[in-house]
Amino acid sequence: MSQSELDATWQRDGFLSPVKIIDAKEASRHRRALEDAESKAGPQHYLDKAHTVLTSPLELACHPAMLDIVESLIGPDILLYNVVYIVKEPHSESFVSWHQDLAYWGFDSDDQVSAWLALAPATQLSGCMRMIPGSYRYGRYGHTATDDANNVLKMGQTVVGVSDAEAVVCPLQPGEASFHHGWTLHSSGPNSSDDRRIGLNIQYLATHVRQMNHDQDSAMLVRGVDNYGHFAQDIPASRDLDAEALARRDEMVARFQDIYGNSGQASPTS
């Protein structure tokens, strides 16, 4: 995809999918790294700041092919805000209802990009993401709290009345990624397949973005320069599952609950 085609697609739809980042062999290596960490430290699903405790997600979040796409969307000065593994086990009924990421993150700007990198096949059968083209143009939609134990979103926050007929299914093969705007409506279904659906969700911000819900939020500069200093500095993982890094992450996870709670919503993305 040329730069002009990328720009046109992003402006029209508010997402890009699929984009090849690494080959299948590399994706398999990174899957093994996750599953090795799980064997040592338990599930890593939805644990914030994975790049501060594990080297594999740090490598992927800083991959030049990822940052090149992000730079084309939000400019050359880029903060890495959060990295989260999202795992749906085989034959899981878990789903993610229609929602928008920026509805609960507390930023003063929407110069943000969400990336979702597949480490296992993300298909319709396994519950890949669906997106509503152009929905980002309308800003924040109203979210309604719902009560469904299978909804991964912690408060069940849902944009009601979304037409599934308008949705675009975004399947990904291992090593492929999607990128979406923080106001783009998206959801994902249950995993009815025999394999785990494993994705790495990565959040990038332009350096001028400010956190409005908390005065101690943190991020990490991964490209360009930061002339603003709105965020404390995350410490990247130098080795896997370091005790001090794990303790710092516990503090950051607690801080995220404050941030999300102050905005009336709470949860990572699909």
**pLDDT tens for each residue of 63-111:** 999 999 999 999 999 999 999 999 999 999 998 899 999 988 899 999 9
Question: In the predicted model, is pLDDT for residue 268 greater than 70?
Answer: no
Distance from C-alpha of 139 to C-alpha of 126, rounded to nearest angstrom? 29
List helix spans (H) across the chain: 3-13, 24-41, 55-61, 64-74, 243-262
Q: Is the pLDDT of residue 264 over 70?
A: no
- Domain ranges for the chain, please list them: 3-262
Least confident of 22-36, 92-106, 150-164, 204-218: 150-164
CB-based contact 223:80 (threshold 8 Å): no
Q: Which amino acid would we find at residue 197?
A: R
Q: In the chain, pLDDT over 90 holds for what percent of residues?
A: 77
- Ranges 53-57, 142-146, 175-179: which has the least confidence: 142-146
Quick one: 1 exposed, middle or buried, by C-beta within 10 A (0-12, 13-18, 19+)? exposed
Residue 266 has pLDDT above 70, yes or no: no
Mean pLDDT of 47-62: 97
Question: CB of 133 within 8 A of CB of 188?
Answer: no
3-state secondary structure of 253: helix
Does this model's pTM top 0.85?
A: yes
- Contact present, 127 and 95 (Cβ < 8 Å): yes
Q: Closest Cα partner for 248 from 4, 19, 52? A: 52
- Reported as a pLDDT band with limits 50, 70 and 90, residue 261 is low
Q: For residue 188, what pLDDT is reported? A: 97
Half-sphere CA count of 25, side-chain side, radius 13 A: 0
Which DSSP state fits 234?
Answer: P
Residue whose tokens read 């709290």: 145
d(CA 19, CA 179): 8
Domain 3-262 top-level CATH class: mainly beta
pLDDT at 267 over 60: no
Predicted confidence at residue 269, as pLDDT, reads 63
Give the distance from CA 199 to its chain's centroid.
Answer: 9
Measured N-to-C along each axis, helices 3-13 and 64-74 cross at an angle, to the nearest 10 degrees, of: 60
Nearest one of 124, 127, 119, 136 to 15, comparing CA atoms: 136
Task: Give kind and range of the element (H or E) at residue 185.
Answer: none
Average pLDDT over residues 212-232: 95
By three-state DSSP, how is residue 258 classified? helix
User: pLDDT category, 262, cuts 50, 70, 90?
Assistant: low
As a whole number, the mean pLDDT across the chain is 93
In Å, how far from its chain's centre is CA 19? 15
Amino acid at site 198: I
Q: Exposed e or buried b for every residue in 80-116, given b needs 16+ CB within 10 A? A: bbbbbbbbbeeebebbbbbbbbbbbbbbeebbbbbbb
User: What distance lies between CA 196 and its chain's CA centroid?
Assistant: 18
